[in-house]
Amino acid sequence: MSCLSKSELEALERELNNHDSEVLGRLREFFLRHDIFPPDFEELCDRLGVTGRHQRLGILIAYMIAFWGHEGQERRDKSKYITHPLGALLIYAETAGVGRLDVALIILILIHDVVEDTKVTLQMISACLGEECSLDLSSLSKEHGQKGDDYLIAYLLGIIARGPGVILVKLCDRAHNLETLQPFTEDKRKEKILETQTFHMLMLLPALRSYGGDYIRMADELEQRMNEAIAQYQ
């Protein structure tokens, strides 16, 4: 899975190599001038072990889409909403291991809620980050007004159909949601936990394990992490 085609990545890399860091520099100046540049972007890439210039450019674009899209939104604990995709991203980093991260998944985690919760459209994502990224994000985005067990099952099956990377993104998203349930009412926490145990864990974890290899380890670690989060409220 890749949010940019090989030819697009090669073109970006050639441009960045030709002009050194000029492109990133211009982007940074633009964002700073309009007071929208997240000051911790460089630190984020350092923590994730992402050093390639074209890789950082893709992450920067995704970060800015999420940063701008979620501007003004808050989580239940009154923290900025951007802390959620960042929290899910750090769970992915801890699970996969720094130096073993898929940049396409970093990008997808950062923007995983923008179509569902902001004015950002799939067309924008396709134009900025590529059609594959848009297709992956479409599978992660619930349709407004759709509820119920049948819809949730169909939604999760759509995620499974996109492959292990998208499954992993959804599990990291759900793990972070479980770890930040404290501000919710007891009834809402019970509802989220039951939904997770009945659907997400029973469907997504076996699907991820079915790909074998390191995916089994990551599924085991995420299952343990979610169970530990759930145990706080039982």
189-203, pLDDT tens digit by residue?
Answer: 999 999 999 999 999
176: which 2 tokens? 């972070």
Cα dist from 129 to 25, 55, 108, 182, whole Å: 19, 12, 10, 34
90-142, pLDDT tens digit by residue?
Answer: 899 999 987 789 999 999 999 999 999 999 999 999 988 999 999 999 999 99
158-189, pLDDT tens digit by residue?
Answer: 999 999 999 999 999 999 999 999 999 999 99
Mean residue pLDDT of the chain comes to 87
Q: For residue 68, what pLDDT is reported?
A: 87
Which one of 3.40.50.300, 1.10.3210.10, 2.20.25.240, 1.10.1060.10 gives the CATH number of domain 1-139?
1.10.3210.10
Contacts of 213 (CB under 8 A, 6+ apart): none
Nearest to 12 by CA among 129, 136, 137: 129
Q: For residue 72, what pLDDT is reported?
A: 93
Give me the residue spans of the domains in the chain: 1-139, 142-234
57-78, pLDDT tens digit by residue?
Answer: 888 889 889 988 998 999 999 9
Task: Give yes or no for residue 2 having a pLDDT over 50.
Answer: no
Residue 46 pLDDT level (bands cut at 50, 70, 90)? confident
Q: For residue 226, what pLDDT is reported?
A: 98
Region at 100 (left for phi over 0; alpha for psi -120 to 50; beta for the rest): alpha
Q: For residue 1, what pLDDT is reported?
A: 41
Residue 20 pLDDT level (bands cut at 50, 70, 90)? very low
Least trusted range by pLDDT, from 82-86, 152-156, 160-164, 204-208: 82-86
Tell me the β-bridge partners of 74.
80
| Contacts within 8 Å (CB) and 24+ apart, 207-213 | 207/160, 207/164, 207/167, 208/164, 208/167, 208/168, 208/171, 211/164
